[in-house]
Structure 1
Amino acid sequence: MSDENKSIYDFDFNLICEFFSSMERQGPGSPDVTLKALSFIDNLTEQSHIADLGCGTGGQTMTLAKYVQGKITALDLFPDFINIFNRNATQSGLQDRVKGVVGSMDNLPFQDEELDLIWSEGAIYNIGFERGLNEWRKYLKNGGYIAVSESSWFTDERPAEINDFWMNAYPEIDTIPNQVAKVHKAGYLPVATFILPETCWTELYFAPKNIAEEIFLNKYAGNKTAEKLIAYQRYEAELYRKYKEFYGYTFFIAKKTRSHGKK
């Protein structure tokens, strides 16, 4: 298998975790984008319970916590991410209402209709967009919100190189109209949809990642697995530079509807 045909899942998880732990964000995004998505959500109080699923080290969670007063439970599969998350929460003085826990998206530690808001930036792909929308819905109160950013096609057709890359990495990527339809079908009222600015990729994700890559390669000089992981990261960045008009991240904000055809 060539590096171009690998997905991130083909690399050592410990190395992946170490590499991304050094970054404030583990995917494209920005505080401005987080706050823009939050601006469409109107029912939060001090009593609200929010879950941030696939939180990573919590860059977006800390932004949320500064602008909402409720309790936030953040979940990620990687213990190292959660250790960093909880340290950051303590350093920010947020530890009384912001807590990171180790857990899986397909086995959430919440009761039915416990949550006022489910948040997930660039992470729902771990369980799948449609599956996440459907399985997470039961944890939301009626009228509760879900806000997720997800990779999207901007066109119905695209060059073979980028199409093949995404079909291998994440076959569920879809066009925005199709994704909105999936949101509606899963029992939500679509409230807002917007595309993340290009700077969320270039200045706020790839630029700091370039620095992290150099440090990582120096530490693991001669380690073929580490070198291949970084080669994959650089290939992914090069593809974005070449094909950014064809795809990107989209934020979807939606509200759980009271009536839904599925049992």
Structure 2
Amino acid sequence: MSFIDGLTKESQIADIGCGTGGQTMVLGKQAPGSITGIDLFPRFIELFNQNALEAGLTERVKGLVGTMENLPFEEEELDLIWSEGAIYNIGFKRGLEEWRKFIKPGGYIAVTEAVWFTEKQPEEISTFWQAYPEIDTIPVKVTQMQAAGYLPVAAFILPKDCWTDHFFKPQVTAQELFLKKYRGNSTAEDLIAYLKHEAVLYDKYGDFYGYTFFIGKKI
């Protein structure tokens, strides 16, 4: 939050692709203003609002069911758009371009995106990531942000444990329960095999890629 200035209790913030709101509740405790979380799945929003209640943030934080392609905001309504681990659903470049109209002049966008840390990568991990063709290096992403009409303010690599401890490890129990529920279902088994393979590859090649936070100011 040290890279984002000018927020007050009157500020309007949106967390796009908020999920159940784990990061939103942290944001709500660190940033003044009102926060609206947007997610496609009603169950996630139900849990989001329950989490806001338990965190004592219901006066400032609320969740709504919605899509990234059709956000429920007026033009230049928002002081900050926040999106952690979600902009890939619409695409980094497209998200920056389409969401810009909702941000006030001088407002901010803060998003995380998977990137390459090196210009060249081992063939095995490069082939795996062909499923997400937008993955690229940090300089390319910064250039895309600038071209979309933002002043690049910061770009910093998130620690590995953001992926290992907060993504892969929590999946282990969920995967076991999922396989138990859908025992004998080849589609379910293939999905879990893919997720386990992804974790193995990150353990092997985590020095070549990861998530980076990009912060831009609308100009």
TM-score, normalised by the number of residues in structure 1? 0.81
Structure 2 counterpart of 1:185, which letter? A
Counterpart pick for 2:87 among 105, 111, 124 = 124
Instruction: Output the CA distance in 1 between the equivalents of 2:165 and 2:13.
Output: 29
Instruction: Output the CA distance in 1 between the equivalents of 2:177 and 2:200.
Output: 20
Which whole-Å deviations, capped at 9, do the CAs of 1:66-85 have from their partners, x for residues lacking one? 11221101101111111111
Instruction: Output the CA distance in 2 between the equivalents of 1:159 and 1:178.
Output: 19
Which whole-Å deviations, capped at 9, do the CAs of 1:14-60 have from their partners, x for residues lacking one? xxxxxxxxxxxxxxxxxxxxxxxx22111111000000001111110
1:59-78 to structure 2, matched below 5 A, reads: 59-78=22-41
Structure 2 counterpart of 1:200, which letter? C
CA RMSD of superposed structures (Å): 1.1
Tell me which residue corresponds to 2:71.
108
Tell me which residue corresponds to 1:189.
151
After TM superposition, the structure 1 stretch with the greater mean CA deviation from structure 2, 116-125 or 202-211, is 202-211
Deviation at 1:152, TM superposition (A): 0.3
Does residue 1:99 correspond to 2:70, yes or no? no
Does residue 1:160 correspond to 2:123, yes or no? yes
Counterpart pick for 1:218 among 157, 174, 180 = 180
Counterpart pick for 2:191 among 229, 243, 250 = 229
Counterpart pick for 1:141 among 104, 118, 123 = 104
Structure 1 unaligned runs (5+)? Answer: 1-37, 258-263
Query: What's the secondary structure of 1:137's corresponding residue?
Result: helix
Deviation at 1:113, TM superposition (A): 0.3
Instruction: Output the CA distance in 2 between the equivalents of 1:95 and 1:231.
Output: 39
Deviation at 1:248, TM superposition (A): 0.5
Structure 2 unaligned runs (5+)? Answer: none
1:242-257 to structure 2, matched below 5 A, reads: 242-257=204-219
Deviation at 1:161, TM superposition (A): 1.7
Structure 2 counterpart of 1:86, which letter? N
Structure 2 counterpart of 1:88, which letter? N
Deviation at 1:175, TM superposition (A): 0.5
Query: What's the secondary structure of 2:73's corresponding residue?
Result: coil
Query: What's the secondary structure of 1:66's corresponding residue?
Result: helix
Does residue 1:42 correspond to 2:5, yes or no? yes
**Aligned residues, how many?**
219
- Which structure has more relative contact order (CA 8 Å, sep 6+)? It is 1
Which whole-Å deviations, capped at 9, do the CAs of 1:120-151 have from their partners, x for residues lacking one? 00111111101111111110001100000000
Deviation at 1:225, TM superposition (A): 2.5
Instruction: Output the CA distance in 2 between the equivalents of 1:91 and 1:238.
Output: 36
Structure 2 counterpart of 1:167, which letter? Q
Query: What's the secondary structure of 2:74's corresponding residue?
Result: coil
Does residue 1:55 correspond to 2:18, yes or no? yes
Deviation at 1:228, TM superposition (A): 2.0
Tell me which residue corresponds to 1:28.
none
Query: What's the secondary structure of 1:254's corresponding residue?
Result: strand
Which whole-Å deviations, capped at 9, do the CAs of 1:162-210 have from their partners, x for residues lacking one? 1121112x10111000100111111111111100111111222211211
Query: What's the secondary structure of 1:225's corresponding residue?
Result: helix
